Protein backbone atom coordinates (compact mmCIF):
# COMPACT_ATOMS: atom_id res chain seq x y z
CA UNK A 1 0.00 0.00 0.00
CA UNK A 2 1.27 3.49 -0.75
CA UNK A 3 0.86 6.71 1.17
CA UNK A 4 -2.04 8.98 0.32
CA UNK A 5 -1.25 10.99 -2.80
CA UNK A 6 1.61 8.67 -3.84
CA UNK A 7 1.06 7.04 -7.25
CA UNK A 8 0.66 3.27 -7.08
CA UNK A 9 2.15 1.22 -9.92
CA UNK A 10 -0.34 -0.72 -12.03
CA UNK A 11 -0.07 -4.51 -12.23
CA UNK A 12 0.85 -4.62 -15.91
CA UNK A 13 3.06 -7.67 -15.30
CA UNK A 14 0.38 -9.73 -13.52
CA UNK A 15 -0.19 -13.29 -14.78
CA UNK A 16 -2.69 -13.80 -17.60
CA UNK A 17 -6.16 -14.59 -16.32
CA UNK A 18 -9.13 -16.45 -17.75
CA UNK A 19 -11.32 -13.33 -17.87
CA UNK A 20 -11.00 -9.65 -18.71
CA UNK A 21 -13.30 -6.70 -19.10
CA UNK A 22 -12.40 -3.79 -21.35
CA UNK A 23 -14.18 -0.49 -20.98
CA UNK A 24 -13.67 2.12 -23.67
CA UNK A 25 -14.85 5.59 -22.77
CA UNK A 26 -15.11 8.80 -24.74
CA UNK A 27 -14.29 11.96 -22.85
CA UNK A 28 -16.69 14.88 -23.02
CA UNK A 29 -14.76 18.11 -23.11
CA UNK A 30 -16.41 19.85 -20.19
CA UNK A 31 -14.75 20.81 -16.91
CA UNK A 32 -17.14 18.61 -14.92
CA UNK A 33 -16.55 15.52 -17.09
CA UNK A 34 -12.79 15.94 -17.07
CA UNK A 35 -12.78 16.34 -13.28
CA UNK A 36 -14.85 13.13 -12.97
CA UNK A 37 -12.31 11.26 -15.11
CA UNK A 38 -9.40 12.60 -13.03
CA UNK A 39 -11.18 11.64 -9.80
CA UNK A 40 -11.76 8.10 -11.10
CA UNK A 41 -8.06 7.77 -11.90
CA UNK A 42 -7.16 8.92 -8.41
CA UNK A 43 -9.54 6.37 -6.82
CA UNK A 44 -9.06 3.29 -9.01
CA UNK A 45 -6.30 1.74 -6.84
CA UNK A 46 -8.48 2.01 -3.73
CA UNK A 47 -11.42 0.50 -5.62
CA UNK A 48 -9.31 -2.48 -6.75
CA UNK A 49 -8.04 -3.03 -3.18
CA UNK A 50 -11.55 -2.85 -1.71
CA UNK A 51 -13.07 -5.25 -4.25
CA UNK A 52 -10.00 -7.52 -4.36
CA UNK A 53 -10.13 -8.10 -0.58
CA UNK A 54 -13.37 -10.02 -1.04
CA UNK A 55 -11.61 -12.79 -2.97
CA UNK A 56 -7.86 -12.38 -2.41
CA UNK A 57 -7.01 -15.54 -4.38
CA UNK A 58 -8.73 -14.03 -7.41
CA UNK A 59 -5.78 -11.74 -8.13
CA UNK A 60 -7.95 -8.79 -9.20
CA UNK A 61 -6.02 -6.18 -11.15
CA UNK A 62 -6.94 -3.11 -13.14
CA UNK A 63 -4.97 -1.20 -15.74
CA UNK A 64 -6.09 2.24 -16.88
CA UNK A 65 -4.78 3.47 -20.22
CA UNK A 66 -5.06 6.71 -22.16
CA UNK A 67 -4.21 7.66 -25.70
CA UNK A 68 -2.16 10.79 -26.22
CA UNK A 69 -5.13 13.03 -27.02
CA UNK A 70 -6.91 12.14 -23.78
CA UNK A 71 -3.68 12.49 -21.78
CA UNK A 72 -3.11 16.00 -23.11
CA UNK A 73 -6.62 17.10 -22.11
CA UNK A 74 -6.62 15.39 -18.70
CA UNK A 75 -3.06 15.74 -17.44
CA UNK A 76 -0.98 17.94 -19.77
CA UNK A 77 2.80 17.96 -19.50
CA UNK A 78 4.95 16.02 -18.93
CA UNK A 79 3.76 13.26 -21.25
CA UNK A 80 5.01 9.67 -21.01
CA UNK A 81 7.85 9.25 -23.55
CA UNK A 82 6.19 6.73 -25.89
CA UNK A 83 2.56 7.82 -25.56
CA UNK A 84 0.69 7.75 -28.88
CA UNK A 85 -2.90 7.89 -30.13
CA UNK A 86 -4.87 4.64 -29.87
CA UNK A 87 -5.34 2.83 -33.15
- Contact (Cβ atoms closer than 8 angstroms) between residue 58 and residue 52: yes
Q: What is the pTM of this model?
A: 0.64
Q: Where are the domains of the chain?
A: 31-74
What's the chain's length in residues? Answer: 87
Rounded to whole angstroms, how far apart are CA atoms 80 and 67?
11
Output the pLDDT for position 10. Answer: 66
pLDDT attached to residue 42? 87
Q: In a structure prediction context, what are the per-residue pLDDT tens digits for the chain, which is 87 residues long?
A: 445 566 666 666 777 777 778 888 888 889 999 999 889 888 888 988 999 899 888 888 888 888 888 888 888 888 888 888 877
Please report the pLDDT score of residue 79 as a whole number.
87
Amino acid sequence: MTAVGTPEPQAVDAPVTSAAIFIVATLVSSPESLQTARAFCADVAALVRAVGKRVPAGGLTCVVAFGSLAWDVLFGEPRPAELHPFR
